Chain A
Amino acid sequence: MMKSLSIVAEGPGRYIHWGVIQISVANLVIIVAMIILFVLALIVPFPSGHDEETDQERRQK
């Protein structure tokens, strides 16, 4: 089982060659995933348990 697992990590690795740019598929996938996560963090609404109005009401009390 250890052997089948280690194939994932220790294969020769696939590379993308694009002019002067050379990047492994694994690294490219990670960078793209991070950019997607970054954009999602900006656009997905953040759940907040209370709205501003009730906040102000609470302060007035």
Chain B
Amino acid sequence: MTTSTGAKSAAETTDPGNWTNRLRGRIEGLVPPGEALPDRQPIYVASWIYVFGVLTLSSLAVVILSGCVLAVGGVQWWHVSSLGHYVNSVHLWSVELFFGFMVIHLWGKFWMAAWRGKRAMTWVSGVLLFGISIGTSFTGFLSQTNFSAQWIAGEGKDGINSTGAGAFFNVLNPGQMLLWHVVLLPLVVVLIVLIHIIQVRRHGVVPPLDADLEG
């Protein structure tokens, strides 16, 4: 090694094709410089309808945090402890808000045709989030450890088994449903939320429909 060449950037001294450099390039190129956490937005973003994406995101944070507290107490904690019952209610009601905000967000994006201008993947990732979130709350209802959970499983089993999914997704198996609910599905939701938000920041907020016609 020699120091006589002076300071060189990591990219110059190492093979630009090695995977660390390539990965860094990919991460840096995900969103244009300065667009990851911008502090200014075009004037048309000054409307309450644009707040619903972030409201959805914030309620998802409360859902996940309260879910983690429930995990500490265990799946039956809420039947025997008033604190557990409270945390369970926080979990349930933040889910209700999450879905309400998500659907209003969806309506807003639908009526402004927010898939315009190469934003199709933002919409598609949103559709996936909608579907997978329903699946996540379904497994949540199956994890209540009460008669309601049992009834839902009894009602749901034939339909789901008839699709063949019962081989690896058996609604009558509470242990399996709990693990789907607290591990697999939340991981997928969080991953797609990340992709969704990177897509939004990558393309910038879609201009209003009338602005599009004028341009």
Contact = CB atoms under 8 A, between A and B. Distances in A.
Contacts of A40: 48
A38 B108 contact: yes
Contacts of A41: 47-49, 51-52, 104, 108
Given A2-B85, A38-B108, A41-B52, A30 B47 contact: no
Interface in B24-80: 43, 46-49, 51-52
Interface in A13-61: 30, 34, 37-38, 40-42, 44, 46, 48, 52
A52 B103 CA distance: 31
A38 B107 contact: yes
Interface residues of A, number: 12
Contacts of A42: 47-49
Name, among A30, A38, A40, the residue most crowded by chain B CB atoms within 10 Å (CB to CB): A38
A27 B85 CA distance: 23
B100 interface: yes
Interface residues of B, number: 14
A46 B47 contact: yes
A29 to B, nearest CB: 12
A42 B107 CA distance: 11
A38 B43 CA distance: 20
Given A2-B85, A44-B48, A46-B48, A52 B104 contact: no
Contacts of B82: 2
A52 B40 CA distance: 12
Given A30-B100, A34-B104, A38-B104, A52 B43 contact: yes
A48 B51 CA distance: 13
Nearest to B52: A41
B76 to A, nearest CB: 15
Interface of B: 43, 46-49, 51-52, 82, 85, 100, 103-104, 107-108
State the 7 A-B residue pairs at the shortest beta-carbon distance, nearest first: A41-B48, A46-B46, A41-B49, A38-B104, A48-B46, A46-B47, A46-B48
